[in-house]
A and B are shown apart, each in its own frame.
Chain A
Amino acid sequence: METTPGLLTFIIFLPLAGALVLLLVPRESKEAIRWFTLAVTLLVFALSLRLYFGFNGASAGMQFREFALWMPQFGIHYHLGIDGISLWLVLLTTFLSVLAVAFSWVVEQRVKEYMFFMLLLETGMLGVFCALDLVLFYVFWEAMLVPMYFLIGMWGGERRIYAAIKFFLFTFFGSILMLVAIVALYYLHRDMTGVATFDLLKIQQALATSPLDLNLQLWLFAAFALAFAIKVPMFPFHTWLPDAHVEAPTAGSVILAGVLLKMGTYGFLRFCLPLFPDASQVAAPLMLTLAVIGIIYGAIVAAVQPDVKKLVAYSSVSHLGFVMLGLFALNAQGLTGSILQQVNHGISTGALFLLVGMIYERRHTRLIAEFGGLKRVMPVYAAFFLLVMLSSVGLPSTNGFVGEFLTLLGGFAVHIPLTVIAASGVILAAVYLLWMFQRVFYGEPSEKNASLPDLNLREIAILVPIVVLIFWIGLYPSTFTDAMQASVENLIRQVNGDAGAAWLAQMGETVRAVTMR
């Protein structure tokens, strides 16, 4: 246990402090505001790297823990910590925040407010991944809605107001019912142990020794799962996503796809599975089915989109289906793949949104039909696009392959027919992405496209780290999976009990073989 304020506190609240400092900067000095925000996000990223180097991959417990009294009357405390699952999401958040801010140089209107909300958003997201107290988690989870709402509503596209409100209300609806479930859980735990606390670890421990009655578990699971399923989004709760993603400004879409959706999947991993293990197993077939529907449905709808950004948005629904498939396979391969795929999706889809944003800044349209022949006009852009797209398709040696392969492997162990259908989603991904690539980049450039400038230095600097990560994860995933292993095994023990542990030992070998150890 570290003393508060420790490293995590600094990482979480540095952006907030930066946002408050920003309020004092005069709004006319746009350049200063941009550089300052970039410096803050870079500093946060650098600090978060210290988490990686100081992380003990062999331990399944929470690390970098911090504890301080907050509302002792209710057993609500400021309790932070990360394990092998949240570590990657924290790093993903700090990484993507840097890129999102770097891209946001193109924002010219109300720069001060824009950067203020970006920094606020980063604090909210990081808090969600580090909170180990149910109320603290909820505070971050909800508070993060506000900056995102403003980012979409003020700097978004044509239908931004509709999209912003829809985004807010959908998420708010799910989460407020989760709040009721959180309070209910608090009382159940208090009646069981006599200790009144919202501490996640304590409640987890108590429920592990004396599990709740299945019926009760199912109700609570449903309340939590609804909030998370809306966020992921799982079919049929996905309808807010295309609106929000398409209308949001580019950096907003990057953060939305890269990090916000992961908050939903993270919620399943951190809360639903360990707290309600029996309900998770009962609900698994339903969740698997919804995941597979999402994979296929998202892919098919993506294929017919006339707008590149919409295509990428629907591809998210499909990709997140793989994440959920691996997650509810409830085995080592599936879960490892699921977590890895969360990071992958953040990187690849985030990059796709950035690429779409870059071309939109030049042409002010995103319609596929408007483009063509870009390969000749913008060769550097085309090269980057190709790489990122292939990683999104899941070509071997890119990150997408490792993640999708592991989730499918996990799915295969529990439900062969569904997994076979899911696997066809990989092919569909190739169909919609390659077809789009062909229409946008090949052929003769039309008059409007003929004189587009290629990527500038800033844009290349944003894309290079992404490409490095794509191949790093694709070729040497064990850098990432090693640190997850202990936490994933622990999670499986929590979900499956002793039977699961024995089974895990047998399957663990396969995972190691796949991740090339």
Chain B
Amino acid sequence: MTGYPPLPSDIWFIAIAPELVLTLTAMVVLLVGLSLRYRSYTPLVVLSLIGIAVSAGLAVAFWGQSREAFASTVVSDQFAQVVRLILLGIAAIAVLMAEPYLQQKRITFPEYFALVLFSTAGGMVMAAAQNLMVLFIGLEILSLSMYVMAGLARTETRSEEAALKYFLLGAFASGFLLYGIALIYGASGTTNLNELMPALFSPSPEKRLLLYGGLALLLVGLGFKAALVPFHVWTPDVYEGAPTAAAAFMASAAKTAAFAVFIRVAIAFQPASALWATVLAVLAVLTMSVGNLIALAQTNLKRMLAYSSIAHAGYLLVGVVAISNFASARAGISAVLYYFIAYALMTMGAFAVASLMAHEGQESNLIEDLAGLGTRSPHAAAMMTVFMLSLAGIPATAGFLGKFFLFNAALQQGSVGLLLAIVLAVNSVVSAFYYLRLIVVMYFHPAELPALPRPGFGLQLAIALCMIGSLLFGLYPLGWNQAQQAAEGVVRVMQTVRR
């Protein structure tokens, strides 16, 4: 045993119990799926939902505790629980909406459900990671499952292209991320985020330069996952080519996990905030504006949603910038957490309605294909309208309250925040244009195509949940206190570390 450090004394598997449960469920689903080929996937859906529910139950049971484990590489605090619960909610909706869609598309891979669960577990590891290597492992679990999901419609070249593109660029981004971790390790001698502080105040300028270089590369890697401009080019192709249910999951889960890490990293590097706040602010402006402007010109619904998701990543970044200032850090973190929920509900809802456009193996996602939906499928059109209004940030929807909280955080931050708030405001107007255009097409254009197929039960339930959530979270800030407690916990750590 010589040469190896002693095993850490805080091996505490309970800290990662939600992830473990989910992984086990995924394996069972994989095995059961083998025996189910070409038959109904309902048992898989039920199994997955049970796993998700147990996992969520565990996350709720840990509420209020904050404990580190595995040599402080994992921290199971309230922030981790909130992000876990959000990710589990996303997974639940992704599982619910998938079955009817996969059948319509003739995609016969029960692996979809296992991949969703694996990927979610990866995202949850990222949220609980306090160590850059653990973060990397989580990110890879999340990403690898997603690469496969993007290519599930394997008879379609679009889907194959999406998978390959996502994989190649993703692998490249992972390289950046690892290189960044290496540089940070070189400068500080640690990969634990909570031990970086001495290096940040290191008297040697070379060391600090190395550290900042590492941080920059880290941002590139994460920026890729979160689809920030200029690391966004893969997004529209992947979302367009991937099966719609998978795209819905990728759009919300990957973003949530990546931004959770953004928050942890931003807190660890808070003393150097003068440096990264400006960079992130510039990225935020770019991401919002480029995303929205290109979305204006899209004719394909899924591509439009992809660019809109890029724009929303820019909005989220506004909340991250608020962490740079001590006074606004808490508001920023809770605003980002709230926006996760709002964004997931409205984006997954929109994708879920879009998945109705798949019929007997065929799928066309042109916006024009929705012409007259208000008369031929009034319910679907009404739901889509709610999601579009929420995405545009019209009051009484979750999108509005989410933006409102981001404004709140940004204006507390100071002058950079004020500027970002104004850019966000102007961007909302630009985005309203293309969200409204969808409503125009659905309601003001004459119907040419037949009604959409009647959605299966799971899909109906998923859409209904998203719609009710989009309204409920817009009328009352559900879970805000929890988000605030989570932010409080993370910020407190930041304060103690600083001392």
Chain A contact residues, CB within 8 Å of chain B: 70-71, 73-74, 135, 138-143, 145-146, 149-150, 153-154, 160-161, 164-165, 168-169, 172-173, 176-177, 179-180, 183-184, 186-187
C-alpha gap A183/B444 in the complex (Å) = 35
* B477 lies within 8 A of A73 (CB): yes
List of A residues within 8 angstroms of B404 by Cβ: 135, 179, 183
The size of the chain B interface, using a CB distance under 8 A, is 31
Contact partner of B433 among A140, A153, A165, A176, CB < 8 A? Answer: A165
Distance (whole angstroms) from the CB of A153 to the closest CB of chain B: 5
C-alpha gap A164/B428 in the complex (Å) = 17
* A154 lies within 8 A of B443 (CB): yes
Chain A to chain B: the 4 pairs with minimum beta-carbon distance, closest first: A139-B395, A176-B425, A142-B395, A173-B429
List of B residues within 8 angstroms of A143 by Cβ: 394-396
C-alpha gap A135/B425 in the complex (Å) = 16
List of B residues within 8 angstroms of A150 by Cβ: 443
Interface residue B464 (Cβ < 8 Å from any Cβ of A): no
Distance (whole angstroms) from the CB of A190 to the closest CB of chain B: 10
Query: 18 more A-B contacts (CB under 8 A) besides A142-B395, A176-B429?
Result: A71-B480, A138-B395, A139-B396, A142-B394, A143-B394, A146-B394, A153-B444, A154-B443, A164-B440, A164-B444, A169-B429, A176-B425, A177-B422, A180-B421, A180-B422, A180-B425, A183-B408, A187-B412
A-B CB contact pairs (8 Å), 7 listed: A70-B476, A139-B396, A146-B389, A153-B440, A160-B444, A168-B432, A169-B429
Closest to B407 in A: A183
C-alpha gap A442/B87 in the complex (Å) = 73
List of B residues within 8 angstroms of A145 by Cβ: 394
Distance (whole angstroms) from the CB of B44 to the closest CB of chain A: 36
List of B residues within 8 angstroms of A177 by Cβ: 422, 425
Contact partner of B428 among A140, A146, A160, A176, CB < 8 A? Answer: A176
Closest to B428 in A: A176
List of B residues within 8 angstroms of A183 by Cβ: 404, 407-408, 411, 421
Contact partner of B480 among A73, A140, A186, CB < 8 A? Answer: A73
Closest to A152 in B: B444
* A168 lies within 8 A of B436 (CB): yes
Interface residue B309 (Cβ < 8 Å from any Cβ of A): no
* B394 lies within 8 A of A180 (CB): no
Interface residue B192 (Cβ < 8 Å from any Cβ of A): no
List of B residues within 8 angstroms of A176 by Cβ: 393, 425-426, 428-429
Interface residue B481 (Cβ < 8 Å from any Cβ of A): yes
Distance (whole angstroms) from the CB of A351 to the closest CB of chain B: 29
List of B residues within 8 angstroms of A168 by Cβ: 432, 436
Closest to B480 in A: A73
List of B residues within 8 angstroms of A160 by Cβ: 444
* B443 lies within 8 A of A180 (CB): no
Distance (whole angstroms) from the CB of A261 to the closest CB of chain B: 20
List of A residues within 8 angstroms of B426 by Cβ: 173, 176
* B395 lies within 8 A of A172 (CB): no
* B429 lies within 8 A of A172 (CB): yes
Interface residue B484 (Cβ < 8 Å from any Cβ of A): yes
Closest to A178 in B: B425
C-alpha gap A149/B389 in the complex (Å) = 12
* A169 lies within 8 A of B432 (CB): yes
Closest to B481 in A: A73
Closest to A176 in B: B425
* B444 lies within 8 A of A71 (CB): no
* A161 lies within 8 A of B394 (CB): no
Chain B CB within 10 Å — which of A74, A135, A168, A183 has the most?
A: A183
C-alpha gap A177/B423 in the complex (Å) = 10
Contact string against A for B residues 381-407, beta-carbon threshold 8 Å, 1 for contact and 0 otherwise: 000000001000111100010001001
List of A residues within 8 angstroms of B444 by Cβ: 153-154, 160-161, 164
C-alpha gap A150/B444 in the complex (Å) = 9
C-alpha gap A179/B425 in the complex (Å) = 8
Contact string against A for B residues 296-315, beta-carbon threshold 8 Å, 1 for contact and 0 otherwise: 00000000000000000000
Distance (whole angstroms) from the CB of B421 to the closest CB of chain A: 5
List of B residues within 8 angstroms of A165 by Cβ: 433, 436-437, 440
* A71 lies within 8 A of B477 (CB): yes
Closest to B409 in A: A183
List of A residues within 8 angstroms of B422 by Cβ: 177, 180
Given A138-B395, A154-B444, also A172-B432 (CB < 8 A): yes
Closest to A156 in B: B444
C-alpha gap A486/B433 in the complex (Å) = 44
Contact partner of B407 among A71, A172, A173, A179, CB < 8 A? Answer: A179
C-alpha gap A138/B444 in the complex (Å) = 27
List of A residues within 8 angstroms of B389 by Cβ: 146
List of A residues within 8 angstroms of B418 by Cβ: 180, 184
Distance (whole angstroms) from the CB of B322 to the closest CB of chain A: 13
List of B residues within 8 angstroms of A154 by Cβ: 443-444
Distance (whole angstroms) from the CB of A197 to the closest CB of chain B: 13
Contact string against A for B residues 468-498, beta-carbon threshold 8 Å, 1 for contact and 0 otherwise: 0000000011001100100000000000000
